[in-house]
Amino acid sequence: MNHKITEKEKTVRDDRVAYIYLKLKDCKPSIFIEKLIKSLGITSESTARRVFNKIDKWSKFEKELFLAIYLPLKSDIEAVDEALGVKADKVSNEFKEEPTSEIEEADKLQKEIEELNEAIKESKIAIMEVCKERDDKDEEIRVLNLELQKYKNDLNSVLDDRQKLECLLSDNANEVELNPKYDSLYKVLLAAYNQASNGKGKERHQLNDDEPFENQKICEIARRLSVDYNLGQAVKKIYESKRLADGRDIAELYGAINYIAAAIIVKQENKNNDN
């Protein structure tokens, strides 16, 4: 009947494998290290290979921290020294002699080793949690920066460009002058313009980037049916805005403004044609 090892035994086994692998991986092939671990009676070659794969995912800091804290067995140090060609009479400076005079002292040392291994395990978990929290914060900041940049590109840069607005609102017969006392109205009208030229309105009505506003469906339908169509759509959006929130209500009202603007364009065309 096979013995099922406990979690504590599994941790001790994996740490022994990790120590030998980290000491030899840069100068010995993996298959050599697997056979060495098997010959020491630590575990099978397949289990050693599984532990190798896990260790390869550690960061450089985790590997250095493990070797700095872990207290290896004398037999493991001797096996590593022999594999590296170190003379047998050379004592490793990372080895702390196991007491052999009394069983009680040996048990005490083994307990200390287990406590250190448990502390390493907890440290690894804490490091991973800190890294995950840092990555989450970085992603949150990245998303917020993207949203802020989009807001600036879509609205703020246009709102600050008064000269561009004067060109858009002028014709040969009548130049529009901006009055600072009406800045609030200016910003609403320009936000509606921005929705039509860059946002939802462009997606729904513009066939391609070269099609001007007066040739888009929002104006063409008014020509074919009546400006009453646009006025009806504007009323519909006004009523729909009452049941929306989170900025969608304001977006609907911008849409209503644009439908009314399209109706004005068509009515002006009809007036010019009559003349």
Give whole-number Cα distances, 84 to 24, 45, 101, in Å.
8, 20, 30
Tokens 């009453």 found at? 228
Of 57-61, 125-129, 185-189, 203-207, the range with the highest mean pLDDT is 57-61
Instruction: Say how many CA atoms lie within 13 Å of 176 toward its Cβ.
Output: 14
pLDDT digit string (tens) for 118-133?
A: 888 888 888 888 888 8
pLDDT at 21 over 90: yes
- From the list 10, 32, 9, 8, the residue with the least C-alpha distance to 20 is 32
Q: Is 256 helix (H, G, I), strand (E, B) or coil?
A: helix
Average pLDDT over residues 75-87: 87
What distance in Å separates the CA atoms of residue 124 and residue 260, rounded to the nearest whole number? 63
Which helix (H) or strand (E) element contains residue 240? Answer: helix 227-241
pLDDT digit string (tens) for 239-269?
A: 888 888 888 888 889 888 988 998 899 899 8
- Burial class, 72, CB count within 10 angstroms (exposed 0-12 / middle 13-18 / buried 19+): buried
What distance in Å separates the CA atoms of residue 243 and residue 98, rounded to the nearest whole number? 77
Which helix (H) or strand (E) element contains residue 1? Answer: none
| Buried/exposed 15-39: b ≥16 CB within 10 Å, e otherwise | bbbbbbbbbbeeebebeebbebbee
Average pLDDT over residues 101-116: 77
Per the CB < 8 A criterion, the answer to whether 72 and 19 are in contact is yes
State what percent of residues in the chain have pLDDT above 90.
29
Q: Is 171 helix (H, G, I), strand (E, B) or coil?
A: coil
pLDDT at 33 over 90: yes
What distance in Å separates the CA atoms of residue 220 and residue 227, rounded to the nearest whole number? 10
User: What is the structure's pLDDT at 160?
Assistant: 57
Which helix (H) or strand (E) element contains residue 82? Answer: helix 74-84
Tokens 């977006």 found at? 251
Where residue 85 falls (left for φ over 0; alpha for ψ -120 to 50; beta otherwise) is left
pTM above 0.75, yes or no: no
Sorting pLDDT into bands at 50, 70 and 90, what band is 15? very high
Question: Cα–chain-centroid distance for residue 248?
Answer: 27
What distance in Å separates the CA atoms of residue 245 and residue 266, rounded to the nearest whole number? 32
Least confidently predicted of 111-120, 163-172, 265-274: 163-172
User: What is the structure's pLDDT at 36?
Assistant: 94
What distance in Å separates the CA atoms of residue 219 and residue 226, rounded to the nearest whole number? 10
User: What is the structure's pLDDT at 154?
Assistant: 63
Please, what is the Cα angle at 111 between 58 and 2, to 5 degrees? Answer: 75
What distance in Å separates the CA atoms of residue 187 and residue 197, rounded to the nearest whole number? 15
